[in-house]
Amino acid sequence: MNNKLKLNYKNTIKIGLAFFGILMLWQVYNTYCTIILESMLKDKLDNYNYVIGCIMALDNVAAIIIMPIVGILSDKTKTKFGKRMPYIIIGMILTALIFPFIALMCVFNSLAGVLIFMILFLIIMQSYRSPAVAFMPDVTPKPLRSKANGIINLIGYLGGVFVTLLGFIPAFKLKNDSTLEQIQDVVIWPFAICTIVFIIVLFVMSFTIKENKMVDETKKDVEIGETLSENLDEIKEDNKLSKGDKKNFIILLIAIFFWFMAFNSFETFGSLFTKNILNDSNLYSQMATFLSIASIISFVLFSNLSAKIGRKWAIVLGLILLVASLGTVAILSLVIPVKEDGIGNFKFIFYVLAILMGIGWALVNINSFPMVVEFANKDNVGKFTSYYYSASMIAQSITPFLVGLFMDFTEIGQKVLFIYATIMMVISLVIFLFIVESKAVKERLKKNSKKSALESLGDIDN
Whether residue 422 has pLDDT greater than 80: yes
Residue 358: inside a domain = yes
How many domains does the chain divide into?
1
Q: Is 44 exposed, middle or buried (0-12, 13-18, 19+ CB in 10 A)?
A: exposed
Higher-confidence residue of 282 and 254: namely: 254
Q: Which domain holds residue 402?
A: 15-444
Can you name the residues that pair with 342 across neighbouring β-strands?
Answer: 339
Predicted confidence band of residue 456 (pLDDT cuts 50, 70, 90):
very low
Query: CB–CB of 309/445 below 8 Å?
Result: yes
Mean pLDDT of 39-48: 80
**How high is the pLDDT of residue 352?**
95
Q: Is 452 helix (H, G, I), strand (E, B) or coil?
A: coil
Average pLDDT, the chain: 83
**How high is the pLDDT of residue 2?**
40
**How high is the pLDDT of residue 71?**
81
**How high is the pLDDT of residue 235?**
55
CA angle 197, 203, 207 (to 5 degrees): 150
Predicted confidence band of residue 232 (pLDDT cuts 50, 70, 90):
low
**Number of neighbouring beta carbons within 10 Å of residue 458:** 10
Q: What is the pLDDT of residues 392-407, one digit of tens each?
A: 888 988 888 899 888 8
**How high is the pLDDT of residue 379?**
67
In whole angstroms, how far apart are CA 35 and each of 61, 361, 403?
A: 21, 25, 17
In whole angstroms, how far apart are CA 222 and each of 2, 144, 438?
A: 13, 10, 21
Residue 462: inside a domain = no
Instruction: Determine the Cα–Cα distance for residues 66 and 23; give it in Å rounded to an integer.
Output: 19
CA angle 27, 28, 30 (to 5 degrees): 65
Instruction: Determine the Cα–Cα distance for residues 387 and 376; give it in Å rounded to an integer.
Output: 11
Whether residue 344 has pLDDT greater than 60: yes
Whether residue 460 has pLDDT greater than 50: no
Q: What is the pLDDT of residues 150-201, one digit of tens each?
A: 888 889 888 888 887 776 666 666 666 667 787 778 888 889 999 999 999 9
Mean pLDDT of 287-300: 86
**How high is the pLDDT of residue 174?**
67
The region, left, alpha or beta by phi > 0 then psi within -120 to 50, assigned to residue 82 is: left
Query: CB–CB of 457/140 below 8 Å?
Result: no
Whether residue 96 has pLDDT greater than 90: yes
Residue 1: inside a domain = no
In whole angstroms, how far apart are CA 271 and each of 207, 282, 380, 415?
A: 37, 8, 38, 13
Residue 461: inside a domain = no
Higher-confidence residue of 285 and 232: namely: 285
Mean pLDDT of 363-391: 82
* Helix, strand, coil distribution of the chain in percent, nearest 5: 80, 0, 20
Residue type at 290? F
**How high is the pLDDT of residue 445?**
58
The helices-and-strands tally (H runs, E runs) of the chain is 18, 0
Length of the chain: 462
Select, from the ranges 18-32, 39-53, 133-147, the one with the highest average predicted confidence (pLDDT).
18-32
Residue 90: inside a domain = yes
**How high is the pLDDT of residue 239?**
60
Higher-confidence residue of 258 and 75: namely: 258
Instruction: Determine the Cα–Cα distance for residues 244 and 339; give it in Å rounded to an integer.
Output: 55
Residue 3: inside a domain = no
Mean pLDDT of 219-232: 71
Whether residue 87 has pLDDT greater than 90: yes
Which of 129-138, 204-213, 416-425 is least confident?
129-138
CA dihedral sign of residues 293, 297, 300, 306: negative
Higher-confidence residue of 419 and 408: namely: 419
241 DSSP 8-state letter: -
Higher-confidence residue of 392 and 146: namely: 392
**How high is the pLDDT of residue 170?**
60
Find all residues with CB under 8 Å of 121, minimum gap 6, and list them: 29, 95, 98, 99, 102
Task: Work out the percent of the chain whose per-residue pLDDT is above 90.
Answer: 31
Higher-confidence residue of 390 and 337: namely: 390
Q: Which long-range contacts (CB under 8 A, 24 or more apart) does 105-111 make?
A: 106/36, 106/40, 106/183, 106/184, 106/187, 106/188, 107/184, 107/187, 107/188, 109/40, 109/180, 109/184, 111/40, 111/41
Residue 8: inside a domain = no
The phi and psi torsions of 259 (rounded to 5 degrees) equal -75, -25
Instruction: Determine the Cα–Cα distance for residues 404 and 397; give it in Å rounded to an integer.
Output: 12
- Domain containing residue 82: CATH number: 1.20.1250.20
Mean pLDDT of 335-363: 84
CA angle 439, 387, 231 (to 5 degrees): 10
Whether residue 238 has pLDDT greater than 70: no
Whether residue 452 has pLDDT greater than 50: no
Whether residue 138 has pLDDT greater than 70: yes
Residue 457: inside a domain = no
Q: What is the pLDDT of residues 330-342, one digit of tens each?
A: 998 888 876 666 6
Higher-confidence residue of 2 and 416: namely: 416
Q: Is 341 helix (H, G, I), strand (E, B) or coil?
A: coil
**How high is the pLDDT of residue 389?**
80
Find all residues with CB under 8 Å of 212, minimum gap 6, and list them: 80, 81, 82
**How high is the pLDDT of residue 443?**
63
Can you name the residues that pair with 339 across neighbouring β-strands?
Answer: 342
Which of 236-245, 352-361, 411-420 is least confident?
236-245
